Amino acid sequence: MRGSVTGEVKVVNQLLKLLYLRELPDSKATIKNLMKMLGEKFLYLTIKHDALNEKSFVSCGDVISGQIVFEISKEIIVKSIALVANGKTTISWHRGTGDNRSNVFAHENYFNIRTEHVKQHDGDDECEIVLPPGKHVYPFSIQLPQGDFPSSFHGSDCTVCYSLQVTITGPEFMFKQYRSEMNFVNHIDANQPQLLVPLEASNSKDLCCLCCASGPTSMKIRLERRRLALPEDRRSISR
């Protein structure tokens, strides 16, 4: 028995080495075979959603349509397949110094919309379904809510993230998850009265080099409107 296990480990290590060196003609097929050898039930799980525009942006009120796609190597029992659209901000900062320094985190949720494709009821075994080996596809359609939500952002101390996450649960496994991030853009109404007024700014600075000094250099810039909607002519007056 020990020799058999050792042999399987050698095969796995060799396959991983070949995949790393990209010497196999069909890496995806090899990965599937490797996962089957290791007894993995889910060969892959993904979310495919239709692009609404060329840059795949989403915004408030958009209807996101797509498919939950997964492939299994053996028959499984599924209790629930749920898709969640989520938007939230995570902020972190430091408090204190030295040994008393600690990290602090804060979260704000904008929305959390859940759709059920196989619904689980507590204590009800009739909702369990048996899925045969192979590929399975579940179409979905979910609408984002209206609201003044910030655009997607990833920084060192702040993250604004919008995502789709599918969770599959069953009695033979705890859960299986996959998360796909959405690029969310907050569209601003450029015709708001406060954005149509002129914008003006000025600055002045003295320039010097060793003992030589010049008089103050000043600049004044004025924009016809506070907002710029490309490809508008961005006219400015400088003095």
Concatenate the DSSP letters of all residues of 192-235 into one string: -GGGSS-EEEEEEEEEEETTEEEEEEEEEEEES-S---TTS---
Average pLDDT on 124-133 reads 76
Average pLDDT on 116-136 reads 75
* CATH level 2 (architecture), domain 41-184: Sandwich (2.60)
Report the distance separating Cα 151 and Cα 59, nearest Å: 9
User: Which pLDDT value is given to residue 167?
Assistant: 92
- Which segment of 92-96, 106-110, 136-140, 166-170 scores lowest on mean pLDDT? 92-96
Q: CATH 2.60.40.640: which residues of the chain?
A: 41-184
pLDDT at 72 over 80: yes
User: Which pLDDT value is given to residue 179?
Assistant: 93
Q: pLDDT-based confidence at 76, cuts 50/70/90? A: confident
Report the distance separating Cα 156 and Cα 134, nearest Å: 41
pTM above 0.75, yes or no: no
Average pLDDT on 64-80 reads 90
User: Which pLDDT value is given to residue 21?
Assistant: 47
- Which segment of 72-81, 91-100, 113-122, 210-219 scores lowest on mean pLDDT? 210-219
CA dihedral in degrees (44, 47, 48, 49; nearest 10)? 180
